Amino acid sequence: MPRNRNTFSSLAAWRRKAVAAAVQGAWRWAQQAGSVTAEHPGKLRFRRLGAGTRLAFPQGTVFGEPWIEIGECCIIAEQVTLTAGMLPGLDLGTETVLTLGDGVVLGRGSHVIADTTVTIGSDTYCGPYVYITSTNHSYDDPDEPIGRQWPRSEPVSIGPGCWLGTGAVILPGARIGRNVVVAAGAVVRGEVPDHSVVAGAPARVVRSWDPEKGWQPPLRTPAPKPIPEHVTSEQLAALAAWEVEQAGTSS
């Protein structure tokens, strides 16, 4: 009897492993087959979808693609929302509404809502669950439910080379400069100067670059080592994709 029980347990364990392996294999296949690229756009017809860009599977809500331009070598992680216009099926005219420059990274679960112009500069990285919107609710009439009042929209621009931490919120009218760090959970509105660090809700500048004095207040961490010359852009893109995947796994 103990031998039979042990045999049964071994068979059950083997079956569980086999089922898990099959499920994992099917999911990896779905991720590959369901991802969107310039070569395999599926049903999505963006105004531009650059070479080397990939929208991971499963995608979040995506509509208004004819008014969305996405540059080359962008990484759009799982469950990312990209929308142009308030509703699907609207005619938004001749101009691009949402623009992502080359090398933009949008972390898992991020949202980019472009009811009016939103521009994200090249090589800007966003952590998971970043929320960027050009529209906010209005509440002028105290007697009318807020959700029924016509919203206000203002263009949003994010310069090249920025880093937006996990859960950052970029509000309508924000104008973020070049190489800006937005701390995790920060809520940004208004103008943010180049080469600065902002944190808080509402966000304020907590560190900035002075050409003569360097970073003020001074950095408390040692300067990073430069990227070795032999490292290729493809390797950097693969590293960025791995970091996005790890961030999504840990959330």
pLDDT of residue 34: 64
Least reliable range by pLDDT among 7-21, 83-97, 149-163: 7-21
pLDDT at 1 over 50: no
Where residue 248 falls among pLDDT bands split at 50, 70, 90? Answer: low
Which token pair is 112? Answer: 């980019």
Closest CA to 102 of 240, 251, 243, 246: 240
Closest CA to 118 of 102, 105, 136, 135: 135
pLDDT at 188 over 70: yes
Closest CA to 152 of 165, 166, 132, 138: 138
181-186 average pLDDT score: 98
The length of the chain in residues reads 251
Please state, in angstroms and rounded to a whole number, the distance separating the CA atoms of residues 8 and 29.
31
pLDDT of residue 108: 95
pLDDT at 134 over 80: yes
pLDDT at 4 over 80: no
pLDDT of residue 205: 97
82-91 average pLDDT score: 92
Give me the active site residues, please: 137
Which token pair is 143? Answer: 């007697």
3-11 average pLDDT score: 64
Please enumerate in sequence order all residues whose Cβ is within 8 A of that of 144, keeping only pairs 6 or more positions apart, or say none.
none
223-240 average pLDDT score: 82
Amino acid, res. 206: V
Which token pair is 161? Answer: 């080379």
| Residues 63, 85 contacting (CB under 8 angstroms) | yes
Amino acid, res. 220: R
Mean pLDDT of the chain: 88
Where residue 224 falls among pLDDT bands split at 50, 70, 90? Answer: confident
pLDDT of residue 125: 97
Least reliable range by pLDDT among 1-5, 50-54, 237-241: 1-5
Please state, in angstroms and rounded to a whole number, the distance separating the CA atoms of residues 129 and 244.
11
Least reliable range by pLDDT among 118-127, 165-174, 196-205, 209-218: 209-218
pLDDT at 172 over 80: yes
159-185 average pLDDT score: 97
Please state, in angstroms and rounded to a whole number, the distance separating the CA atoms of residues 48 and 104.
14
| Residues 99, 136 contacting (CB under 8 angstroms) | no
**Burial level of 2, CB count in 10 A (0-12/13-18/19+)?**
exposed
pLDDT of residue 7: 66
pLDDT of residue 106: 97
Please state, in angstroms and rounded to a whole number, the distance separating the CA atoms of residues 243 and 146.
39
